[in-house]
Structure 1
């Protein structure tokens, strides 16, 4: 998946993220491969074509994957539009990337609510804990960030990626 995210970043730069960003058709019937396609904001890829992001236009998993790719590419408002089209709004992964998009857009209080809901559904979701901790760092609440770091250590140890990333953010004060 990291390769897909790297491709998303490269494609976003190539297409100019001001009006277009990469959206990936994932599991939408296009031979099972991930195909880069540029669409307008508010659209997703369905069978190689751009369509308006609405509930039911694609399976939830496909909407989640495209919303996640957009969030990782820095298209936060577009990601929120796509993630809002997911029918299961209680999927912790969806809640996590809604929180991520709000956090990266500077809306920390909104982000915290989504991260907390994701963790309430799945207390072992260490990626949500990492992102929540990064939000706490951005808010200057290092004590709360360290609390999430401890929770991550209990769930996956101190060598897992989420622990390492949050520890680095706490040390450097990045969000």
Structure 2
């Protein structure tokens, strides 16, 4: 199964997987994960690590850094970056849910995912991550309901749909 999951990006076009956010492949490690500590982000202009609240970073660069840190299993650092972002933005809420789930706080993750979906009911990544959490907890009916929502909202063959489908088959979701 692991070989299939690793080969998945080769089997499904990346553009389809990337729809719905998050992307189909792990982020490429940058200086943010190789050099920076304590939730800092690497700034190319100054060639130094800086606090994510620094005005030189926009939310897109913060989001990329949070995703990279979360993928590297540095969930506390990712949460530090997310704290510098708009707390009502559905992307922020989705990754707050993801990090909460990966840190073992399923109830907190659920609250963040629900808030993300209240802000944007078509957030397929939030639906996928929430469904993966359900699958991991053994609530396959709730996970299938999210899979149906993803498909109904135009997410068939996206990374969100494929990763949730794989989680339903294996009982565990991918790391990112």
What stretches of structure 1 of length at least 5 have no aligned partner? 12-21, 25-36
Structure-2 separation of matches of 1:50 and 1:75: 16
Q: TM-score, normalised on structure 1?
A: 0.76
Per the TM alignment, residue 123 of structure 1 is displaced from its structure 2 partner at its CA by 0.7
Q: TM-score, normalised on structure 2?
A: 0.76
**Which structure has greater strand proportion?**
1
Corresponding residue SS for 2:32: strand
Q: Number of matched residues?
A: 150
Instruction: Say yes or no: does 1:5 pair with 2:4.
Output: no
Instruction: Say yes or no: does 1:39 pair with 2:36.
Output: yes
CA contact (8 A) 2:106 2:133 kept: yes
Structure-1 separation of matches of 2:134 and 2:32: 29
Instruction: Say yes or no: does 1:155 pair with 2:136.
Output: no
Structure-1 separation of matches of 2:60 and 2:156: 30
Structure-2 separation of matches of 1:169 and 1:3: 15
**Closer/same/farther in 2, CA of residues 170 and 41 from structure 1, 3 Å limit:** same
> Which portions of structure 1, spanning 4 or more consecutive aligned residues, are displaced by more than 4 angstroms?
1-4
Per the TM alignment, residue 53 of structure 1 is displaced from its structure 2 partner at its CA by 3.2
CA contact (8 A) 1:92 1:117 kept: yes
Match of 1:65? 64
Choose which of 124, 128, 131 in structure 2 pairs with 1:130: 128
**Closer/same/farther in 2, CA of residues 5 and 95 from structure 1, 3 Å limit:** same
**What is the CA RMSD across the aligned residues, in angstroms?**
2.3
Structure-2 separation of matches of 1:4 and 1:66: 15
CA contact (8 A) 1:153 1:163 kept: yes
